[in-house]
Amino acid sequence: MSVLVTGATGFIGSTLARKLVQRGEKVALLVRKPSKLHAIEDILDSVELRYGDVTDLESLKSATRGIDYIYHCAGKAYIGPRRTQELYAINVQGTKNVIAAAEQNHVKRLVYTSSISAIGITGTKQPADETQPWNLDKLNVPYYISKHLAEEEVRKAAQNRLDCVIVNPSYVFGAGDINFNAGQLIRDLYYHKIPVYPTGGICVADVDDVAEGHIAAMERGKTGERYILGGENLTYKHVFDIICRVVGAPKVLIPLSESIVKIFLALTAQARRLHRITALANREILLSATKFFYFSSEKAKRELGFDNRHSVGDAFVETIARAFSWYRSRQLI
């Protein structure tokens, strides 16, 4: 059995690739030329590198030849007003290309790494599940839209011709976040760049739990179904308090409500000035952070046997500690 992981130099993809190697799988990794391989340098002797790009269909047709199973983790994660064309090229067209290549080479199953941003929110603190209608178009965030559209492509493929399963990771923390996705929050709080906390909340998850959830989806997921891979639902205040305690930074004490955000964003010069301080300060992130992105992983637990033990309670504090230690050991913070 041969397995291909796209996005293997990224956070979730590299963690997943490492776990597959540990399980003794025959693993191939899709990487671009040239590509930084720091995230997977410890497993390079145990994997096959296949060169290609999700935006290049012909390269994918070659890279997927002889492959039985694909984990499509590649994607562009950027929440902001720019890079819209790049987001659509990688997240939407890239996913269509992976599907087309998988079909041509008779891949047996594809697990697609979507996002909770492709699922709607309830508008309250009530966690959403996989049946929640998508309603994030109201926020007009290109990344959210691109993940929603990409998931639609996977769902169509599953209905027509290809065995596909969708996983929707939540806000993922942990060691190995080399591109500072959720880790940007750890870095900015460590450097005292965030003076306020948003009044919304998020569903947090540990990267190891999420990677194991991918494997469970490949083994036990139902064709065409989506599975939320998350952990505890926490207010931003709670998340900030945990991170500040771990990194030794002072607590953030000033709340930032949605009404204040809207007033602030109306003062565009001030908004641009703050964005120079931290990449987390833009319209899309600030408005999203006043909402409650709370989600339930009960379906994944029930159908996949998903275990999110590292994503709740004191274990999540340890997840943050591991992430911070990983950054410090590499002098990234």
- Checking phi first, is residue 103 left (phi over 0); if not, alpha (psi -120 to 50) or beta? alpha
Other Cβ atoms closer than 10 A to 135 = 13
Residue 60, CA distances (Å) to 3, 100, 264, 299 in order: 14, 9, 45, 32
Q: Is 143 a catalytic residue?
A: yes
Q: Number of helices (H) and strands (E), helices first, in the chain?
A: 13, 13
Residues 6+ apart with CB under 8 A from 51: 30, 31, 32, 33, 59, 63
Nearest to 142 by CA among 94, 198, 77, 202: 77
* Set 71, 78, 143, 327: catalytic member: 143
DSSP letter at 307? -
Say which residue the tokens 């940007």 belong to.
184
Give ∠ CA 76-82-187 in degrees, rounded to 5.
65
The amino acid present at 217, given as its one-letter code, is: A
d(CA 239, CA 105): 44
**How far is C-alpha 216 from the chain's CA centre?**
17
| The two structure tokens encoding residue 190 | 């460590």
The residues carrying an active-site annotation are 143
